[in-house]
């Protein structure tokens, strides 16, 4: 690829200069088309994707980089115009989204309890850039349904991604800081119908 040396990583100063040089630049339709074609070709290159993934993992392991990215994302969400556009994009991408099996089970439980907590995990409701699974906005209650594998349930022996557990815990803390009561229902709990119904019922009835 012209102008690129395999394995070479630009310094932060160089990347900043490149970013500044492109600020305000307007690309022609032909240029955008060429960039699109080039990108499609690169993503077909298994070696390219592997190298890119390794570079990005390395970046995110750097606490300074991770904090800078996190701060930048938070700053974006504080901009109401950007947040609205981003939410619209998320909603467009979730138009065909449907509740998964554990979420369907919780939906049935809530129906049996005549609860006002509704499923919004399809992207129809957002709170500070976060889309909860179930919510009763009036009573400030949220239910999060976690699949044991994808959310790394320790009781089921899934320890492949500790960072995911930390991310989920941080998400719950953010909801609570915003004044919401949060109930987490794990996939394995749904196998014990009577106990999970009691758990959800107590949460629904709590003032």
Query: Looking at the domain assignment, is residue 87 inside a domain?
Result: no
**pLDDT at 153 > cutoff 60:** yes
> Are 200 and 123 within one domain?
yes
Question: Which range is least confidently modeled, 3-7, 36-40, 45-49, 188-192?
Answer: 3-7
> What does pTM read for this prediction?
0.58
Q: Could you tell me which residues come within 8 angstroms of residue 117 by beta carbon, excluding any fewer than 6 positions away?
A: 110, 134, 135, 136, 139, 141, 143, 204
> Are 128 and 73 within one domain?
no
> Are 72 and 135 within one domain?
no
Query: Looking at the domain assignment, is residue 47 inside a domain?
Result: yes
Query: Looking at the domain assignment, is residue 107 inside a domain?
Result: yes
> Are 50 and 108 within one domain?
no
CB atoms within 10 A of CB 117: 23
What is the extent of the structural domain holding 32?
12-78
Tell me the torsion sign for CA atoms 63, 65, 70, 74. positive
- Per the structure, how many domains does the chain have? 2
Query: Looking at the domain assignment, is residue 165 inside a domain?
Result: yes
What is the per-residue DSSP string for 83-152? HHHHHHHHHHHTTT----HHHHHHHHHHHHTT---EE-TTTT--BTTB--SEEETTTTEEEEEE-TTTTT
> Are 68 and 108 within one domain?
no
β-pairing, 141-146 vs 181-186, is parallel
> Are 125 and 170 within one domain?
yes
| pLDDT class of 199 with cuts at 50, 70, 90 | very high
**pLDDT at 146 > cutoff 90:** yes
> Are 107 and 144 within one domain?
yes
> Are 68 and 122 within one domain?
no
**pLDDT at 174 > cutoff 60:** yes
């Amino acid at each position: 690829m012209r102008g690129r040396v395999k394995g070479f990583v630009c310094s932060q100063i160089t990347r900043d200069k490149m970013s500044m040089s492109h600020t305000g630049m307007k690309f022609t339709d032909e240029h955008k088309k060429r960039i699109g074609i080039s990108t499609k070709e690169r993503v077909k290159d298994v070696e390219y994707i592997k190298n890119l993934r390794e570079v990005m993992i390395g970046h995110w392991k750097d606490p300074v980089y991770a904090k800078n990215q996190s701060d930048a994302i938070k700053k974006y969400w504080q901009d109401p115009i950007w947040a609205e556009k981003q939410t619209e994009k998320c909603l467009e991408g979730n138009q065909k989204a449907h509740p998964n099996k554990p979420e369907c089970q919780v939906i049935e439980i809530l129906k049996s309890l005549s609860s006002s907590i509704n499923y919004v995990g399809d992207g129809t409701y957002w709170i500070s850039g976060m889309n909860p699974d179930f919510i009763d906005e009036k009573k400030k209650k949220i239910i999060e349904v976690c699949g044991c594998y994808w959310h790394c349930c320790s009781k089921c022996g899934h320890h492949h991604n500790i960072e995911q557990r930390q991310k989920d815990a941080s998400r719950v803390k953010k909801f609570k800081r915003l004044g919401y009561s949060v109930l987490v229902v794990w996939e394995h709990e749904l196998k014990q119908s009577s106990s999970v119904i009691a758990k959800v019922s107590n949460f629904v009835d709590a003032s």
